[in-house]
Chains A and B, each alone.
Chain A
Amino acid sequence: MYLFAPYIVALPLAGFLLNGLFGKKFASEKISGAIGAGVIGIAFALAAAIFAEMLASPPESRSHVVSLFSWIAAGSLTVDWAYQIDQLSILMTLIVTGVGFLIHLYSIGYMHGDPAFWRFFAYLNLFIVMMLNLVMANNFVLMFLGWEGVGLCSYLLIGFWHDRKFDTGGYAPGTATTADAAKKAFIVNRIGDFGFLIAIFMIFQQFSSVRFDEVFLKASAVTVQGDKTMFWITLLLFLGATGKSAQIPLYIWLPDAMAGPTPVSALIHAATMVTAGVYMVARCALLYALSPATMSIVAIIGTATAFFAATMGLVQNDIKKVLAYSTVSQLGYMFMGLGVGAFTAGIFHVMTHAFFKALLFLGAGSVIHAMHDEQDITAMGGLKTTMPTTYKTFFVAALAISGIPPLAGFFSKDEILFRTFAEGSILLWLVGWVTAGMTAFYMFRLVILTFEGTPRWGHDKHPHESPVLMTLPLVILGVLSVIGGFTGVPQALGGSNALERWLEPVFAKATEHLTRIHETSVTMEYFLMILSVVAGVAGIFVARGVFSKPERIGRVPASAWYRLLWRKYYVDEVYDAAVVTPVVRGSEKLLWRGFDVNVIDGIVNGTAKLIDLGSQQIRKLQAGVVQVYAVTFVLGILIILGILILK
C-alpha cells in the first residue's frame, strides 16, 4: 500500500496543473472546486489507507522508503526523489491532507464569486504538493525543495488580491498593499532559509550524505554530545525553523500574512506550513539530542516567543491578527516542548493545534464573510444569534486552545508544560503557565467581543449563517478538537498515550542521548494539571468580567504599556531602521550606483569606446588615394624583404 505514496503527491499536482492550465477555460466554480478539493480528498483517503496498513503491521516494519527517481547525481552527492513513509511522516501527511481537504471544501464556499477562483485552487493544490514533499522527503534536499515551495505558495496566496490596501509594518501607513505583505513573508523566510541551506551544506560536509537515515546513523555513531559542529548545524537548522514557524526573531511576517484570504490563513499559517519548522526539528531530533546547548536555545526561544506573542494578542482588534499572534504563541509552545526533549508532545500539539486553529480561522472567515469583509471586532458583537453554528464551533475551539479538559488542547499543552517542568526548568514552566492564562484571556475576549453582547454593527450589515459547504468543515473540525486529544492521554490519567507509543520508534535514538528525566511523582503531575486548568479557567473568567461591560469595549487605555503592546513593541520599526533601510540604501548607493553602473557598465561601455577609438584610427588606412596604398605596398615589401634578408 505504501507504494502508492507518490500518488498522494501526484494527485494534488494534477489538480494544480488542471486548474492552473485550464481553470480559466473551465470558467466554472463547480469544476475547479471539485478538482481542487477532490484530489486532496482522494489523497487523504490514500494516506488513511497507508496508515491503516501501518497500524496493522508490527512496529519494526512500519518504516518504508519509496524512491521515485535519482534526482541529483553529482560526484559524491546523490539525492533521490524519495519518500520516507514512517510513523512521523504519515501522521503529518494525514494532518496536511485531512485538514487541507476540509479547508478546500470551505474555500469553495468562501471564494464564491471571486474572478480568480481557479487560480486560488491551483495555488492551494500546489501548496499541498510542496508541503507533502516536505513532510515525506527522505533527505534534506527534497525537504528543502518542499520548504522553499511552501514559501513560494505562501507568497502567491498572501498576495492573492494583490492590490488591496493593507497596513503592514515597515511601510508608511496607507501605502502598503497585500503584495507588500507577501513580499515581507517571502523575504523574512529567506533569511531563515539561508540558515537551513548552510546547515545542509555542513551536514553534507560532515556526513557525506543528505539522506536522513544515513545522516542520523553516522551522527549517532560518530558524534560526541556537545560537538561544536553539531551545535552549529542544529542552530542553523533552527534558524530556518524560526523563519518558517514564526519564532523570535523572524515572526514578523505572520501577522502581516493575514492579508491573504482566510482559508489561506487557516491552511498555511495555522495548520501546515508554519508547523514545518516543528516537523523539521522533530525529524532531526537525534541531531538536536546530540547538542544540548541548541536544545536549550530552542526551548528558551520557544517560551519567549509564546509569552511575547500572547502579550501582543491581548490588545489586537483585528480578528485575524489576534489569531495570528495566537498561532505564533502556540508555535512557541511546540518549540518549548521540542527544546526540553518532549518531541512527541511537540508533534501532539501540532496535531491538536491544527484542528482548533484551523477551526478558529475558518470560523473567523465565516464571520468576516457574513459581515462583508469587516474584520474589526470592536464593530461586531451579538453574532451568536445570527450565526449559531459558527458560534458554537468557535466556542469549542476557544475552549480547546485554552486548555480546558477533556478537549484536545488540554492534553497536548499540558503534556508540554509537564515535561518542561520535569526536565528541569521551573522558570520556563512558569512563563508557559502564565502564557496559558493569557491565551485563555485573549481567546475569550475575542469570543465575547465578536459573538456575545449587544450588536455594535450598523444596519448596512446583514450577517447570516454561512452555507453548508462552509459550516460542515467547521463542525468536523469541532469534533476533532474535542476528541483529538484522546490519542495522547497520559498514563497518569489512565490512558495509554497511544501517540507516544506510535511515534516512539522515530524518536528512540534521540531519547537515548538525552539526559534522563528526573522521575516526577504522579502527584506532581496531577498538581500541574490542575494548575493548568486553573490558569485557563481564570483567563476565561477575567475576560468575561472585563468585557461583559459594554463601555469597556473599544476603550483604549492611555497607558504606555498599552501603547507598547498596541504597536507590537515597535519591532517592525526597529527592524526597518536597523536592517531593512541600511540594506536598501547600501544596495542602492553602493552596489547599484557604485558598482553596477560605474564599474560593470563602465567596463562594458569602456571596451566599446576603446574599440571605437581604435577603429577611428584604423579606418584612416582606407584613404581613397591610390598612392597611399602604393606607399603601404612598398613599405610592406621593404619590411618583408628585410626579414628575409636578415635570415
Chain B
Amino acid sequence: MDQIPLSYYLILSAALFSIGVAGVLTRRNAIIVFMCIELMLNSVNLTLIAFSSFFGNPAGQVLVFFVMAVAAAEAAVGLAIIIAIFRNKQTVDIQDINILKW
C-alpha cells in the first residue's frame, strides 16, 4: 500500500464523529458534553482537510481555519455560561437544569 486512500480518512472521521455523538447523548457533566462537541467539530475538520488535500482545493483548509475560530469562540462563551449556571445552581449536571419544561 503506497497511498492512503481517501476513504480511510473519511472512515476515521466518521468514527470520531459517532463517538462524539454518543458522548453528547450520554454524559451528564456539561463540560464533558462540550468536549464531545469539540471532538465532533474536529472530526469535521479532518474531513475538510482530507477533501481539500485530495482535490487540491484550498477552500477546505481556509474553511477549517474559520471553523476553528468559531469553535474557540463558542467554547469560550459556552464555558462562561456554565460558570454562570454553576454560580446559581452549584451543579453542572445537565439533568438538573430542567426548569424550561411542560
Q: Given the known inter-chain contacts A627-B94, A627-B95, please indicate yes or no for A622 contacting B25, CB distance below 8 A.
A: no
B55 interfacial contact with A, CB 8 Å: no
Q: Say whether A626 faces chain B, with CB atoms less than 8 Å apart.
A: yes
Question: How would residues 65 to 102 of chain B score, 1 for a CB under 8 Å from any chain A CB and 0 otherwise?
Answer: 00000000000000000000000000000110111111
Closest to A626 in B: B94
- Smallest CB gap from B24: residue in A: A630
Mark B46-74 against chain A: 1 for CB-CB distance below 8 A, else 0: 00000000000000000000000000000
CB-nearest residue of chain A to B27: A627
Binary per-residue interface labels of chain B (15-48) against chain A in the complex, 1 for a CB within 8 Å, 0 otherwise: 0000001001100100000000000000000000
**A634 and B25 contact, CB distance less than 8 A:** yes
Q: Which residue on chain B has the smallest CB distance to residue A622? A: B102
Contact with B along A605-647 (1 / 0, CB 8 A): 0000000000000011011111100110010000000000000
Query: Interface residues of B, CB < 8 Å — how many?
Result: 12
| CB–CB A620/B25 < 8 A | no
Give B95's nearest chain A residue, CB to CB: A625
0 or 1 for each of A579-616: is its CB under 8 Å from B? (1 = yes): 00000000000000000000000000000000000000
Q: Which one of B28, B98, B99, B102 lies within 8 Å of A619 (CB-CB)?
A: B102
Q: Is the CB of B97 within 8 A of A634?
A: no
Could you say which residues of chain A place their CB within 8 Å of the CB of B28? Answer: 627
B residues near A622, Cβ cutoff 8 Å: 100-102
CA A583 – CA B24 in complex, angstroms? 71
Contact of A624 among B21, B24, B97 (CB under 8 A): B97
Q: Mark A404-418, 1 if CB is under 8 A from B, else 0.
A: 000000000000000
Among residues of A, the one whose C-beta sits closest to the C-beta of B28 is A627
Closest A residue by C-beta to B30: A626
Q: Which residues of B contact A623 (CB under 8 A)?
A: 98, 101-102
Query: Could you tell me the distance in whole angstroms from the C-beta of A641 to the nearest C-beta in chain B?
Result: 12
Q: Are A620 and B102 in contact (CB under 8 A)?
A: yes
* Cross-chain contact A634 with B102 (CB below 8 angstroms): no
Please tell me if the beta carbons of A624 and B25 are within 8 angstroms of each other in the complex: no
B101 to chain A: closest residue by CB: A624
Asked if A626 and B97 sit within 8 Å, CB to CB, the answer is yes
Which of B28, B94, B100, B101 has the most CB atoms of chain A within a 10 A radius of its CB? Answer: B101
How far is A261 from B95 in the complex, measured between Cα atoms in Å? 83
Of chain B, the residue at the smallest CB distance from A615 is B102
Given A622-B102, A624-B97, A627-B25, 14 additional A-B pairs, CB 8 A: A620-B102, A622-B101, A623-B98, A623-B102, A624-B101, A625-B94, A625-B95, A625-B101, A627-B24, A627-B94, A630-B24, A630-B25, A634-B21, A634-B25
Binding site for A on B (CB under 8 A): 21, 24-25, 28, 94-95, 97-102
- List 19 interface pairs A-B (beta carbons < 8 Å), by A numbering: A620-B102, A622-B101, A622-B102, A623-B98, A623-B101, A623-B102, A624-B98, A624-B99, A624-B100, A624-B101, A625-B101, A626-B97, A627-B24, A627-B25, A627-B28, A630-B24, A630-B25, A631-B25, A634-B25
